[in-house]
Amino acid sequence: MIDAVGNPKNLLLLGGTSDIALAIARRYAETSKPKVIIAARPGARRDAAVAEVEGYGLATQVIDFDAAVEGSAESAVRDAFTAGDVDVAVVAYGVLGDNENDWTDPLAARRLAEINYASAVEVGVLLSNAMKTQGHGRIVALSSAAGERARRSNFVYGSSKAGFDAFYTGLTYALADYGIKVLVVRPGFVKSKMTKGLKPAPLATTPDAVADQVVDAVRAGKEQIWSPKLFQLVMLVLKLVPRPIFRKLPF
């Protein structure tokens, strides 16, 4: 159970090699000692993530999870909850893709959509059912500001995040009667492994900054945050820009 000051006993990271997910574990380690369940594909990155989390003084459990493999999500969530109640589950996986390839290659486009959206929906349903059974829990869904309005430079990725965002926003309503809260997180450009080599966009943030907001928001019982907070205003303005002008903007 989450304690009186908002610290989880068991923290599940689906996409446990994510820089933001690891930063969330690091933030919790500053005030408590949750067990961290790292669900990710086997390999050097997962090994490094486990070593990093254990370096914070936290116990770990490792579970195989590959969003591109049928049945992997079901077995991963089952194994995570079999070991005990999951207080906070972070849905932190996804692929950025290559927009110029993805919008012309049907297989690449489908793979991105299946990982970022279809698999995430499956995971959301699985987490919801498991948390309803245990009677409590928090879901943190890492969405993206890219889903707010399609841009020429990343509209394939943005479209998948738009669907992701709509689904997890809907879960905030559907799970409210069960006492389970869902936090939808909408970061802008995050300086991380996923964006390595890309030019940072204005208001670029860091995994640690996002993690700080996430942990505070979970404790406050919030359902939606932007990171950084100013990005909400920026996107509100951009949504009002007429299409002929918006499509000419240099991003």
Q: CB of 45 within 8 A of CB of 18?
A: no
Predicted TM-score (pTM) of the model is 0.91
Q: Which of 157, 168, 173, 178 is an active site residue?
A: 157
Mean pLDDT of the chain: 91
173 classed as catalytic:
no
141-194 pLDDT per residue, tens:
999 988 887 778 889 999 999 999 999 999 999 999 999 999 999 998 787 776
pLDDT at 38 over 90: yes
Closest CA to 220 of 161, 142, 140, 144: 140
Q: What pLDDT is recorded for position 147?
A: 85
pLDDT over 70 percentage in the chain = 93
202-211: long-range contacts, CB 8 A cutoff, minimum separation 24:
203/228, 203/230, 203/231, 203/234, 207/19, 207/20, 207/22, 207/23, 208/23, 208/26, 208/27, 210/20, 210/23, 210/185, 211/20, 211/23, 211/24, 211/26, 211/27
> Which pLDDT band, with edges at 50, 70 and 90, does 1 fall under?
confident
Q: Which two tokens stand for residue 86?
A: 């999951």
Q: What pLDDT is recorded for position 249?
A: 65
Average pLDDT of 43-63? 97
Q: CB of 146 within 8 A of CB of 161?
A: yes
Q: What pLDDT is recorded for position 250?
A: 63
